Amino acid sequence: MSKRPSPTKKELSFEEEIALVERAKHDRDAFGELYDLYFDRVYQYMYYRVGNHEDAEDLTARVFYRMLRALPRYEATNAPFGAWVFRIAHNLVANWHRDQKRRRFLSLDDLPLWRSRDERQEEDLERGLEQEESFRLIHELLQALPEDRQTLLFLKFYEEMSNVEIGKVLGRTEGAVKALYSRTLRALRKQLQQRGGWKRPWNND
């Protein structure tokens, strides 16, 4: 599967998305709308987790294949449909890592979380170089995290999911996600401070 260009998407309300999901159970065109809505988001997650385009494309295709097969059994809850989609993606990439028995690393410039920093870096070279070193250190520490913590941070910062929604993906309670998030940030902050690289790239909100 080759990566397709991003179509223009409109934001759907919770109710509109659930209505689209229900139609997609029986309507191929409606499923195509869901595909367009989630393709880039799933692909970015897969690339973030596996570090290369070929495997990210293959895993993204598998997500939508499983999604198509499982959709007739999907029952709407108070959680967004995206939590269900990313649960499929999370399970697939976890299996991929177990099968591969290896960890791939991303180019820092390709990491979606930090992509916006490039424009700021050009404005002030000295400040940019300091940021570059900090972000490289953060990237190294992120890649060393367990899979569930990498997924948590991706969904929190890139997908902007709530703790409840992340819990649906990880199979944890809201309280467990909040505690894991806090422990993860504290551990990252401690390691950054020890290595002299703490530049506060995010807030612990």
pLDDT band at 9 (very low <50, low <70, confident <90, very high): low
The DSSP-derived string for 17-78 is HHHHHHHHTT-HHHHHHHHHHHHHHHHHHHHHHH-SHHHHHHHHHHHHHHHHHHGGG----S
The pLDDT of residue 182 is above 50? yes
pLDDT band at 94 (very low <50, low <70, confident <90, very high): confident
CA atoms of 183 and 173, how far apart (whole Å): 15
Integer CA distances (angstroms), 197 to 113, 119, 143, in order:
17, 21, 16
CA atoms of 93 and 172, how far apart (whole Å): 18
Neighbour count for residue 1 (Cβ, 10 Å): 14
User: Tell me, what's the pLDDT at 205?
Assistant: 45
Tell me the per-residue pLDDT of 110-148, one tens digit each, with 9 for 90 and over: 444 444 444 544 555 455 445 555 556 666 777 778 888
Structural domains of the chain ordered from first start: 11-104 (1.10.1740.10), 124-200 (1.10.10.10)
User: Tell me, what's the pLDDT at 129?
Assistant: 46
State which amino acid sits at residue 190. K
Cβ 14 vs Cβ 77: under 8 Å: no
The pLDDT of residue 8 is above 60? no
Tell me the per-residue pLDDT of 146-178, one tens digit each, with 9 for 90 and over: 888 888 888 888 788 888 889 988 889 999 999
Tell me the per-residue pLDDT of 13-59, one tens digit each, with 9 for 90 and over: 889 999 999 999 999 999 999 999 999 999 999 888 887 888 899 99
User: Tell me, what's the pLDDT at 131?
Assistant: 52
